[in-house]
């Protein structure tokens, strides 16, 4: 069993839809990261969370430490949001990466 | 936020040659840099952890003589793929830890290596 599980693996949405990507982890963490990987491969760090909720523009990330669960939400999705979203659990010594959620937003 | 750059962003080389990839922290001092590899459709896999001024620590299964890592300064780490083979073709990503920021890592944009 992987230390970090993401769902869904693939997601197709119509432009404007509200999107949720889920991440469950089994290790003790100092922080939980959400990363965005564009089709060309480049990675952008979206959020680092240790508790509660963070918001950047149309992106919202939440974490429930007790349940070991985090969600990434995208409001009013846009085709440019199409990418792979990766959840990563940071134990302080090591990162454990999820396999990613491939999001395609159709105009 | 902190910025990490990688150079080159992509490289194509012939089998048997060596390729050097640079990872730089542009606006902070990185005491620790991490090198990851990603094969198509797979997750990121940690290859090694390098601390400035000391030898890198390699993950199990990663050949240290094949993937040479040097972290000679607080802003630069290099990964050299020696005697590259087609199976080394992959996406190589570095990340850096800011001395002042604690556990947060900042990721570079990655380098796509294709070995012919």
For the stretch A50-86, pLDDT in tens is 999 999 999 999 999 999 999 999 999 999 999 999 9
Measured CA to CA, the distance from residue B35 to residue B58 in angstroms comes to 10
pLDDT of residue B38: 84
Structure tokens that stand for B100 in this block: 């002042």
A95-104, B13-22, B93-102: range with lowest mean pLDDT = B93-102
Whether residue A90 and residue B103 make contact (CB cut-off 8 A), yes or no, is yes
Predicted confidence band of residue B103 (pLDDT cuts 50, 70, 90): low
Give residues with Cβ within 8 angstroms of B69, minimum separation 6.
Answer: B35, B48, B50, B56, B77, B78, B79, B80
Amino acid A38: pLDDT: 80
User: Which residues in B lie closer than 8 A to residue A94 (C-beta atoms)?
Assistant: 46
Q: pLDDT value at position B102?
A: 65
Q: Which long-range contacts (CB under 8 A, 24 or more apart) does A46-53 make?
A: A46/A72, A46/A85, A47/A72, A48/A90, A48/B104
Confidence tier at A1 by pLDDT (50, 70, 90): low
Of A33, A45, A100, Cβ closest to residue B43: A100
Residues of A in CB contact (< 8 Å) with B are 30-31, 33, 35, 41-45, 48, 86, 88, 90, 92, 94-95, 97-100
* Contact state of B110 with A98 under an 8 Å Cβ cutoff: no
| Subunit contact B107:A43, Cβ cutoff 8 A | yes
Cβ of B104: how many Cβ atoms within 10 Å? Answer: 19
- Are the beta carbons of A22 and A101 closer than 8 angstroms? no
A34 pLDDT more than 90: yes
The values of phi and psi at residue A34, to 5°, are -115, 130
């Amino acid at each position: 069993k992987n230390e970090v599980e993401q769902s869904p693996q693939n997601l197709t949405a119509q432009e404007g839809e509200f999107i949720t990507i889920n991440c469950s982890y089994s290790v003790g963490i100092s922080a939980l990261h959400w990363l965005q990987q564009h089709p060309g491969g480049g990675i952008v760090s979206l959020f680092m969370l240790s508790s509660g909720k963070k918001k950047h523009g149309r992106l919202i990330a939440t974490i429930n430490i007790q349940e070991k669960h985090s969600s990434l939400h995208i409001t009013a999705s846009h085709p440019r949001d199409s990418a792979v979203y990766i959840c990563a659990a940071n134990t302080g010594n090591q990162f454990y990466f999820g396999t990613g959620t491939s999001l395609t937003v159709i105009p | 936020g902190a910025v990490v750059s990688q150079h080159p962003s992509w490289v194509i080389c012939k089998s048997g040659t060596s390729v050097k990839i640079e990872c730089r922290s542009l606006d902070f001092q990185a005491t620790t840099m991490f090198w990851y590899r990603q094969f198509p459709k797979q997750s990121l896999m940690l290859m090694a952890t390098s601390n400035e001024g000391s030898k890198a620590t390699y993950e199990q299964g990663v050949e240290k003589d094949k993937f040479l890592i040097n972290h000679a300064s607080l802003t630069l780490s290099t990964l050299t793929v020696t005697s590259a083979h087609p199976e080394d073709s992959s996406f190589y990503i570095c990340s850096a830890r800011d001395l002042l920021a604690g556990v947060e890592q900042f990721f570079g944009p990655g380098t796509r290596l294709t070995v012919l």
